[in-house]
Homo-oligomer: A and B are copies of this chain.
Amino acid sequence: MTPGMVGADLANLVNEAALLAVRKNKQKVSMAEFEEAIERVMAGLEKKNRLINPKEREIVAYHELGHAVVALSLPEADPVQKISIIPRGIAALGYTLQVPTEDRFLMNKTELLTRIAALLGGRAAEEIIFDDISTGAHNDLSRATDIALSMVKEYGMSGKVGQVYFARKKTAQFLDIVGQGAAEYSEATAELIDNEVREIISTQYARAMDILSGKKQFLEKAAHVLLEKEKIDGKELKAMMDENS
């Protein structure tokens, strides 16, 4: 559960788990404390007394289920550890914990597209269930756009833009950045990049919509459970999904 964490992260994690064990008057640090510590480090502290109205809680539940169900439906996606609608950290109303099974150094185009689809799953679920969309997808869209931009500008993964690298290196000399931002490539290329990014994102959004619109009944059932229990384990959700298909 800790790929991508460097030594300092792991030390921090162990320390966090030890503190939790002390607080619970335990003699030993068990797996439960480690799991709790991982969540704290990755999503921030639980804010159980943040008051969220029932309508918003419902939106959050379907939103998180959207992420999880798309991820569970696509074999290339990182596994889903857990979904939760207990508010955590500064801004999150809920979250889906999705961690790769090992350290990764390379990502394939297929994997990047799947990652975008899972990010857009939250918004897609809202549209399917409520026929309205909320500001809650704000951060997902930002992350999906960043991935799509890298695919097009840095990884040469867009046929129309080609194997050209358009994210020019930022040099140390600080004012260079200004010049680069302004004139590094032509307006025509900027437009091509925007269109390719839009194309990638709309295709993956359609993919997420496609996956979820066939599972509307399951979404409602799972939302019922999530609203009651506040957390569902990834494997549990997968089992529920398999049952219902």
Contacts and interface: CB of A to CB of B under 8 A. Distances in A.
Contacts of A177: 173, 175-176, 178-179
A186 B181 contact: no
Interface residues of A, number: 69
A156 interface: yes
Contacts of A183: 181-184, 190
B123 A108 contact: no
How many copies of the shown chain assemble into the complex?
6
A50 to B, nearest CB: 8
A186 B179 contact: no
A164 to B, nearest CB: 5
A60 B104 CA distance: 13
Interface in A160-187: 161-166, 169, 173-187
Interface stretch (A20-28, A30-38, A127-135, A212-220): A127-135
Given A107-B135, A181-B183, A164 B52 contact: no
Contact of A174 (B109, B169, B175): B175
Interface in A26-74: 51-53, 56, 59-60
B165 A145 contact: yes
A189 B191 contact: yes
Interface majority SS on A: helix, strand, loop or mixed? helix
Nearest to A59: B106
A175 B179 CA distance: 10
A93 B108 contact: no
Given A51-B103, A191-B188, A155 B137 contact: yes
A109 B133 contact: yes
Interface string A188-232: 111101100110011001000000000000000000000000000
Interface string A84-107: 000000000100000000111111
B52 A105 contact: yes
